[in-house]
Structure 1
Amino acid sequence: MTVGHGSVAVLRGFDLALRQGQVLALLGPNGAGKSTLLATMAGLLPRLGGSVSVAGRPLPNGRPAPANKSGLVLVPDDRALFTTLTVGENLTIANKSGGLDLDGAMELFPSLTKRINVAAGSLSGGEQQMLAVARALVQNPKVLLIDEMSMGLAPVIVEALLPLVRRIADETNAVVVVVEQHVSLALSVADEAIVVVHGDVHLRGPASELAADPSRLEAAYLGETTSA
């Protein structure tokens, strides 16, 4: 698949196949095309080439509604919450496809329980990120795309949130693709990892192997040739 803005490609020849319950860490420096890739997979941007399929069914190009209906759900880096609505209202609006119920969401994110009647705009950054992920889960995703889960959050909050990615995949059997700048934490919860730099895949492989070889990661981030 080739993705970009207008006719300008920012990520070329990207090939990916993931199985249920698998977590992929999509890594790389800013501007590498990671967020553009997720937005394109979700139908928010038209593909410049290639195809996207969920459970073997191809998705129409550049159409977010069919992508969402197929079970592909994006948590964007800006979280896109209804800030004037309460936590409960945000979840209720999203829960139209028989996915995780509100009690299930609260079990994963118990700190939201006491905030159920609080407007989303009044939550802390960490609470807003929890709500954004919970809102995605009540949509019953087959593929969950999480863009920069740690954006604007303190490291201690990130350390608490990222392990939930692993739990989500294990308990819901969804594919989870997470774009993340906290490399070591992302690798600790992922099965596979891909590093993209300057529009190309520079490194891919089992997350545990990449975590054990920091020199390969460093070389990939610098855009140096590595053996996949």
Structure 2
Amino acid sequence: MTAQLACAGLAAGYTKGYPVVRAFDLEVAAGEVVALLGPNGAGKTTVLLTLAGLLPALDGTVVLCGQRVPPGRARAAARNGVVLVPDDRALFTQLTVRDNLTLARRRRAGAVDEVLDFFPALGKRLKVAAGMLSGGEQQMLALGRALIQHPRVLLIDELSMGLAPAIVEDLLPSVRRVADDTGAAVVLVEQHVRLALEVTDRAVILVHGQTVLDGPAARFAADPGLLERAYLGESTSAP
């Protein structure tokens, strides 16, 4: 299976010589959803920012759809189809839902109606300012703004930020549908581990900037203790 996103030996951080993430390898195929999990401060957001070109890689390579992307080149990453949904959603709060979607459109990108197929609840809110939406609606808009760009690689940072668990439970399946319907390779950073494992194919566990586990999501869902030991820095070897 050909990787739509691949990085090898990635070192990432904010100061040269002091990497937050070290020797990070990842491959994600078209239509695959990978959960990037780990405790706070593990380096998950740093990985996403580096893959999106918003942070220069300190070492290693990033390949998107077969094209090696120069480090720290957000435009190059975007041209190769990478779209990041940040944890703060980064909406234009004073503009309407329709305006937010329209501004996100690239040349030959999707139409607003395509977004409404995924999130019909936004259909009645097109003339409402994004800042007046509920938290769940804002997250739908943030995802919709990414989808209208027809991403080949979709990076989602903390979909559940500030949302009630019941809303998260309704929203997360949309990530699975995006991958299935569009063929995008998806990397999902999420603190609601159980819910994330229900909609992802694979999980990578990052602790202190290093991968400690990588395997099928179903394996970790069936053995919560394995994740708990990894989060606490304990041995994850089979007893």
Which of the five TM-score ranges fits, normalised by the shorter chain?
over 0.9
Q: 1:145 aligns with which of 131, 135, 155?
A: 155
**CA positional deviation for 1:92:** 0.7
Structure 1 counterpart of 2:95: 85
SS at match of 1:15: strand
Structure 2 counterpart of 1:31: 41
Q: Larger deviation: 29-38 or 217-226?
A: 217-226
Q: 1:129 aligns with which of 139, 151, 161?
A: 139
SS at match of 2:211: strand
Q: Which runs of 5+ in 2 are unaligned?
A: 1-9
CA contact (8 A) 1:203 1:227 kept: no
**Alignment-mate amino acid for residue 115 of structure 1:** R
Alignment of 1:1-228 (within 5 A): 1-7=10-16, 8-227=18-237
Cα distance in 2, alignment partners of residues 170 and 98 from structure 1: 21
**Alignment-mate amino acid for residue 59 of structure 2:** G
Runs of 4+ in 1 over 6 A off after TM superposition: none
Cα distance in 2, alignment partners of residues 36 and 194 from structure 1: 14
**CA positional deviation for 1:227:** 4.2
- Deviation per CA, 1:186-215: give whole Å up to 9, x if none: 000000001111111111100011110111
**CA positional deviation for 1:62:** 0.5
Structure with the higher fraction of residues in strand conformation: 2
**Alignment-mate amino acid for residue 67 of structure 2:** R
**Alignment-mate amino acid for residue 80 of structure 1:** A
SS at match of 2:179: helix
**CA positional deviation for 1:84:** 1.2
Cα distance in 2, alignment partners of residues 122 and 66 from structure 1: 33
Cα distance in 1, alignment partners of residues 68 and 112 from structure 2: 31
TM-score, normalization: structure 2? 0.93
TM-score, normalization: structure 1? 0.97
Q: What RMSD in Å do the two structures reach over aligned CA positions?
A: 1.1
Cα distance in 1, alignment partners of residues 15 and 45 from structure 2: 15
**Alignment-mate amino acid for residue 101 of structure 2:** L
Cα distance in 1, alignment partners of residues 12 and 169 from structure 2: 31
Cα distance in 2, alignment partners of residues 55 and 181 from structure 1: 28
CA contact (8 A) 1:35 1:147 kept: yes
